[in-house]
Structure 1
Amino acid sequence: MPMQALPEGMTVLERGWLSSNNVLFHQPGHPAALVDSGYCSHAEQTVELVEQALGGQPLELLLNTHLHSDHCGGNAALQQHYPELVTAIPPGEAAAVRDWDEAALSYAATGQECPRFVFQRLLQPGETIALGGRDWQVWSAPGHDMHAVVLFEPASRTLISGDALWADGFGVVFPELEGADAFGEVAATLDLIEQLQPLVVVPGHGPVFDDVPAALAAARRRLAGFLLDPARHAGHAARVLLKFRLLDWRRQQLGALLAWAGATAYLRTVHRRYFPSLPFDAWAGVLVAELERSGAARREGAWVLDMANTLPARSPGN
């Protein structure tokens, strides 16, 4: 059967895993809007893609499903390019953005970058927002990020899911790494998505999909495995952080990669809580070896090379 059509005037710019997908609304007679802006390394490309797609029409509204660096890293560049741009963010981290608290925003803890941006309005769960001439519902979707939202258009039953649901799972549950009980929030968000009964899902990463029951089943199996063995999730999260850094660098000397890992708070926390029996550098070396075995990285002498534009969703130990 053909894929369920997206609403008219809605375009998905599918990006690699370093940058989240961009969802563009450009319906004639309505303000142009973008959901999520990718990582800062791709900011110039993001501006070019949006400008080309709009054909000279100004971008008037920018929304973020959540404020991880790969979803809002292009905000500052878009704000500079479109001076009248209105940016809307979930309310949970409004104070952190206003004060630019990089610790609260997770950029320091994950060893990632995000240029400072501003916002003018909030995406309050329970409200609707007009995008492309349709009213989209804003729903709270905690788990991967406790402040995340998803957007749902009930007439077409289209869901913009951010990292709450992918075709084969969901994003790393970062609050769990900090000691929060967030797996239950993931389960509740999956239940919410099932209750909304979307016909088509635009995820934060990967292709648009319409076999939503299969995606939910895969996500729940994955969650069940993490609940049985939280260390499995922690190891997966550590590999994802290393892989994300490699996606940006493309290649790096092993010593520099291990030094970055040692300076990254989330990796230090994962090691301390779940893998203390190994010295940190030895454990980080094991992570690199696991990326190699999965095909996500390759060693060339003292160098570690990124080998695939994908995160290690199924790397050893997952």
Structure 2
Amino acid sequence: MANVEHLRTLAAVVDGGTFEAAAAALHITPSAVSQRIKALEEQSGRVLVRRSKPVAPTEAGSVLLRLARQLTLLEAEAAAELAGDDDEATATPLPLVVNADSLATWVLPALARLDGVAYELAIDDQEHTLDRLRDGTALAAIGSDPEPVQGCTSRALGSMVYRAAASPAFVARWCADGWSPEAAAVAPMLVFDRKDALQDRYLDAFAPGARPPRHYIPASTQFVEAAVHGLGWGMLPDLQADALVASGALVVLDEERTAEVPLYWHQWSLRSAALDAVAAAIGEEARRVLRPTGSTARGRARQRNDRRSRA
């Protein structure tokens, strides 16, 4: 069994990105950090970290990093319980990874319901959040893949619905005669980052072969603001765009074609009161605001009444 202090050191090295940062966090010398990592590697018979900048775990290191995260959480919860203060969760932050649009819309209200739980939130594309579970940097994740990572559980949350939208000024300039494949081929497009495939998938169905100019806007709120300012069109979630469409700040370009992104809650299979409480809060909020996956509950008649028609 790996030494607990050595496992803590491994986590500190990955979190800090360097041996020096880990040493500062653990209040020991960089030499001591190096000796602990070397001892852990000798015990496991594997190289555990890549000595890059930042330091990254190897595949074997990810296995032990997951163990380190779990031990840290369970150890802190046991200490709180022994202290007789079950209502106060550990001060050790729970590392969670979520997609940007969920964080910008519905996740924070869910997390805010819990008292005494600390969070360490990371953002990634919904198709890549599970990588953080695999490499041990997160204990739970919201992602679009229904298949659980080995050692984890998966539960459906619901779906976020996205529609092509842009500002009235953008419409007047690029598609005054109506949104068409020809317009989509040349009108500037907004993309979150190079992992974001929502817009390209829409184009594959609406305007095959179209590859318009694109702006990369790697922040959910600013992505919507870029659309409002007329920088480009993009696939915007109803949870962010509905009020802006109702106010006239945005126009839905295509009422017929939507992108429904199913979301799932993934977490490590371990008995943790804090993690289970977070899962329950996330599930409750998801049931309140997300569309049941595959549902057509929001009728098109209401959409047409609520939304401003294309210019």
Of structures 1 and 2, the larger Rg is shown by 2
Structure with more helix by fraction:
2
TM score, norm. by length of structure 2: 0.28
* Larger RCO (alpha carbons 8 Å, 6+ apart): 2
TM score, norm. by length of structure 1: 0.27
